[in-house]
Structure 1
Amino acid sequence: MSEQKTSVLQYIRASIYYLGFYPLTIIHSSLSLIVSPVLNFQQRFKFITLINYFYIFWLRICCGVDVKITGREHLPKDGAYVAVANHSSEWETLFLQTFVRPQCAVLKKELLSIPFFGWALGLLKPIAIDRKQRRGALKQLLTEGKSRLEEGIPVVIFPQGTRVPVGKMGKFNKGGAMLALSAGVPVVPIIHNAGIYWPGKSFTKTPGVVQVHVGEPIPVEGRTVDEVHTDVVNWLEKHMKELDLV
């Protein structure tokens, strides 16, 4: 009975969260589409992602999901870099836009078709990959990613490619390491356990504190793709185990 009450309460709290999430998303996205033509990229990113702070705040108020960050000082203050993070929830896609600023995200092309949310997301210079065109995806990542990095915009990549549920490691692709080497920028690994509190595609959320760990930048100078990729994966796997994700 206690578990049933908890489940009902979580459903109610999640419902309240989305009652705030969707209407404000529509309003803010509409405003973003109107004002974006007169803003440069930096200004546009700041304006469009203002709503992400509301998402994280509203999640804490409604569902009791907070966040604690360790290693924030490892994010480079100047210059571009490639940030790689595990992918287990919708949470990180919202949070990381408040954490890595500005940024260019590597995402699946279908997201840009979502009314309002996707339309606004498309204004942030994402690298929208068509997963049906596997041969061209890597070339697109390296071409567009290097262009963004040369503009001084960090690129955020989820090397697992898709959301991986808690309990599984998934496979980490080498795209992040390849992009970093091609542009001569460091890789910054980021790990979190949001999947415990907001599992992928789950309507309800479990109260708790999402732990976010940021690693020291991994240099690429004079190294091979395999060497950099190995360092990135070793760091991610180590911290996934520490957070009981696998």
Structure 2
Amino acid sequence: MTTIYLVRHGQASFGAESYDKLSPNGEQQAIVLGHYFNDILKEAPLVVAASMQRHQQTAHLCLDESFPESEIITDSAWNEFNHQQVFSRYEPRFNEPHLLKADVVKHANPRAYLSKIFEGAIERWTGGDFHHDYDESWPDFKNRVETALANLCGQLAESKPRYAVVFTSGGVISVAVGKILGLSPEKTFALNWAIANASMTTLRLVGNEPQLLSLNEHHFIKTVDSNLLTWI
């Protein structure tokens, strides 16, 4: 029976010209995750990573601390949706990441403010009236992630490794969990907002069907240094 670990990437560079790069804090989160994998995994896992820079960086930093000889299978089907485009279609000035960051940091509760923007942008993206307005619509993204999960489960059912690790993003993990639990888009993306950087969501493969064992495990980061724990 295969255990699948869906890993959100470490903290990226929010508000920078390129979000798609780990922050120093994100690099440390990936290293802590690698130490944890070294403790809990009894043999090398099958490893899949999305193709974005933050996914690849997280995978390499993590595996350097645990299973440095593991091959990383790169699969862009596990990439995150274009969050910058989703934000900017909701509010055009947010096409400039530094403007979004400036708005967020000046608020007394930055996380609550960003959450409000996120909810509005996601509601527009998933609502059905504006699918034509995005390079990848919500139905297309949902179908891509669900297909990636089904394909992985089919492959694992045949090869039967003890462990598989997928380095991906919060939106992808939320859609995968939403598929398993039959969640609405609203409840799916409520999960997305709660998934911590470098956290693990654990699935168990029964036949070729995934079952949810745990969601958003991040205690291993908190026990090392609670200041490392981030969600943005």
TM-score range, shorter chain: under 0.3
Q: Greater relative contact order (Cα 8 A, min sep 6): structure 1 or 2?
A: 2
TM-score (normalised: structure 2): 0.26
Report the structure number with the largest CA radius of gyration. 1
